[in-house]
Amino acid sequence: MKIKTIKKPNIAEKDNVVILAQSKEDIKNMPCEKVIPLLQEKFDKEKFQFVKTPKHWMFVLNTKKMNAEEIRKKANEIFQKVKDEKDLTLIGKDKEQLKAFIEGFYLSGYQFLKYFKDQKNKKNKFAELKVVGLTAKEINTLKNVLDATLWARDLVNEPVSFLDAKQLAKEIEKKAEKDGLKVKVLHKKDIEKLGMGGLLAVNKGSETPPTFTIIEWKPKNAKNKKPIVLVGKGVVYDTGGLSLKPTPHSMDLMKSDMAGAAMMAATMDAIAKNKLPVYVVALIPATDNRPGKNAYAPGDVIKMYDGTTVEVLNTDAEGRMILADAIAYADKYKPEVIIDAATLTGAAVRAIGDKAAIVMGNAPKKYINKLEKSGNKTHERVVEFPFWDEWKEEMKSDIADLKNIGSGNAGMITAGKFLEHFAKQPYIHIDIAGPAFLESPQDYKGKGATGFGVRLLYNFFENL
């Protein structure tokens, strides 16, 4: 879908039009004079009106009665009606409202059709959104973030038959080459030299070797001298290992277990395309988790990158094993703060469902406040959970420094406390298990991968 700015709404009778109206007067730009009085008459009573004629669609949103998220959702409704039309003209006076509409509309147009034989027949016909009220630069900046979100969706929707750990690294390299990002991919021999025992242990049951991808954006005009380090869980497929998952609504969805990696890689893509003046590094440990070959087993003791020993009591608690190595590795950058994202625990889903992510950490409160503010603005919301040291006690092992699961209660927090052990710098953990992948369609977020967190983090960096 193309998005372009137009200076004047030269509306013809055949044009499809949506007006973000703040008053009755704004409706007079409609292409059909006969319906204008009717739309104006109902304006104060109705948030949303539409008229379908043989020639065109006309939509009016009373934005005095809508917040940004309501506008995004109405944009999705409108997209479903016009997806087989050629174009639509969007008119509005408030830039933030226009951006919210574009977000909802553009994200609603996402389709993952790669594996359909008749994908040409299934593809939406909609081609162009014309916008009155935003500059070309404003549209391009927004579109870069939305395209990054869609790339994250693509990565998560890809099955492991294509997107294994090696291919994930290749996809990041291809994108980085276009963006001007610096990327280095470490392969199994490099990972063994570093002694990343967590990543290597999870990989032991796989036929495909692991990768560890380092992405760096360091512009000359960066506002921060110390980088912010992002860490994304890249478990490209999770069977649970020897602690095997059940299939329905569990293992069958586990191509999505690298949504944290996709979120961080796509955030770097958006930052680089829009040339944000921030110094950011992203670390992506990647592997699948299978019960084959010489798979790591419950009862094993693993020596991690930083020398910590971990007793494995459940091989399905694998995400924290690979994240721990990456978080410890982040110390070499002496970062301002470390932020990880992961589809880490079912406990997070049980706690707050799919409407938000859980956030916790020991970093100065200002960082979590900024994440919450960005979450509210983008509607990729985060809910802060307590992070008290009492939960550290649950992670102590009788035979090693730590064990990889707690008692079963507050599992999202004990997982966070496990990871905190490996962070030598201020640390924030985001559990995106709920909103990262949806089993049924949900407005502009669709079904399957949502690309959750890209708009959240981009806004966070934009406002640092």
The DSSP bridge pattern shows strands 309-311 and 402-403 to be: parallel
First to last CA, the chain: 31
| Distance between CA atoms of residues 274 and 420, nearest Å | 32
The answer to whether 261 and 454 have CB atoms below 8 angstroms apart is no
Q: How far apart are CA 242 and CA 245, in angstroms?
A: 9
Quote helix, strand, coil % in the chain, to nearest 5: 40, 20, 35
Residues 79, 84, 88, 94, Cα dihedral to 10°: 10
- List, in sequence order, every residue forming a beta bridge with 211; answer none if it has no partner: 286
229-209-165 Cα angle (round to 5)? 50
Phi, psi of 48 (to 5 degrees): -140, 125
Nearest 5°: CA angle at 217, between 421 and 381?
Answer: 60
Contact yes or no for 341/266 (Cβ under 8 A): no
Distance CA(199)–CA(287), nearest Å, equals: 7
Active site residues: 245, 320
Burial class (CB in 10 A: 0-12, 13-18, 19+), 186: buried
Decide: 214 and 184 in contact? Cβ < 8 Å: yes
Give the torsion sign (CA, 156, 159, 160, 163): negative
Secondary structure E strands in 180-331: 182-186, 211-217, 228-232, 234-238, 280-289, 301-303, 309-311
Distances (CA, A) of 218 to 1, 27, 182, 423, 460: 31, 47, 9, 22, 17
- The DSSP-derived string for 2-41 is EEEE-SS----TT--EEEEESSGGGGGG-S-GGGHHHHHH
